Chains A and B, each alone.
Chain A
Amino acid sequence: MSVTAQIGTGIAAQDAAITVENVSHSFVSRDGAIVQTLDNVSLDIRRGELLCLIGPSGCGKSTLLNIIGGLLQAGSGQVKVNGRPITGPSPRELSFVFQDNTLFPWNTILDNVKVALEFQGVPENERQGRAEEALEAVGLTEFRNHYPHQLSGGMKQRASLARALSLKTDIVLMDEPFAALDEQTRIYLGEELSILLAKSNKTIILVTHSLAEAVFLADRIVVMTARPASIKAIIDVKEDHPREPAFMASGRFADYRNELYGFLRAEIEKTVGGFVGSAAARDRTRRGISESAGDAP
């Protein structure tokens, strides 16, 4: 078990697919109130690694991901992708799997992927083949002429994954892609994802709120503090890909998980404590959290 204490690690520039330099960000709500979401975040994401972002709900993970993807403007600081500062969406370099279901309900699964390719600027005669290939990779060939509402939650997430993978970007940003699913399905899809990605050598940032998912999938796990998010710790998970389900039952897995939870606990308490208010309620919540931390992945 090893914790890299330094933040924004000094990797050689050519190794970094993405560099986040001193990024801060605030939302201004309609009534003029300012909500600071990111506080001076610096981070290098190495080429080919799978980096997990984990942190309390509402801390700013999606915001960070959207800034990296060029969908939101940083208040200060900057993000570079492949050495170039990001100023807007960069669909040839990075693709998204969003937190909520974003398949177009008016298109079939196949057309959803083809439309994505059209948006990215892929010539028309290549779209069909590439879309079918991507659906094949996630095991949805049979369902390619179904509409999203005819698929289960897990299938929809796989379709979203296929859509992102069909774009063949070197970088994929995933925002809790399995959050809406039950634990078993999530673990299963995680395994599949691990196998799929081990072959592809893509750079992945994966936001998750599942400790097990983070440890199972990540090369490095970035723990964020409560809002405004800054980087609390970075955990290196030294384990080869693809990872076997047996890894989940190992002592090393439990150690990583406990270490991760140790970092998160104080931050979650800040979030939940502030939300609940009274000391008695906070006590009850604290017990609730430590109970849920005890369950096996």
Chain B
Amino acid sequence: MAGDFELTRNITIGQYLPTGSVIHRMDPRLKLLAAALWILSISLCHTYLGNVAGLCVCLALFALARIPLSYGLSGLKPAIPFILILAILQLLFYGNGYGPSGQVYFHWGILRITSASVRVVVVSTLRFVEIIFAVSVLTLSTSITELTHGVEGLLRPLGRMKVPVHAFALIVTIAVRFVPTFAMEMEKMMKAQASRGAEFGTGSWWNIARRTRDVFPLIIPLFNTALVRAEELALAMEARGYVPGQARTAYRRYRAGGRDIVMFLAGMALSAALVFAPFPF
């Protein structure tokens, strides 16, 4: 049961795992762009073989980034209930909604399982796993600082149109910076509540309703401390000369080198192959 309190360990977002691999050292802007393209092409690929190939590429990315696969699997775990529910719903109802295409395996009342619905289930499950893996590699190999700077760099053209790109990046940075802090806070509150007899973590991990209900008594105090923190943080930022909307300089500057461009092109080629290659089934 003790393990259920250790939220900080289960949060992969913002948990940068520095291994110094080529993936880690890639220019964050190009890495982001490549990841976005890759994820897009995964969502466009609807063949079995294509998705298996995509999964292999994702696994290869873990190897290339020298990140243990267990990190990807732990990112997958919380998504399993959603994947399962989605799969079951698709399995039961997809065959109906889109007309009887393909071979009908099973038909009872409104339930109709066809070869098309099986394909949808398998492909969407694979896609889900691939996307989670791809995002895990991205977040594990890119510090949040780089990620926000990458987003900021990519969105910079919008800045000329008076979109507050920098403020947005700062908001994201701060939000992410406080994720572990709030996780620890929540851990503390759960322990405090548990010591007064509340039950946490006794519901199974797939019992979403139960687990959500368990969290309710924590929400108000968590909001409360969040507001206090926000106020203090604003004060500290002001004390360090932050004025919203002012022109600032940037400590980190990125310059895409030859290797970054080669890696980006490789990513683009893979993405294109996934979408356009004639996978037989």
B is bound to A? no
Residues of B within 8 A of A (CB): none
Binding site for B on A (CB under 8 A): none
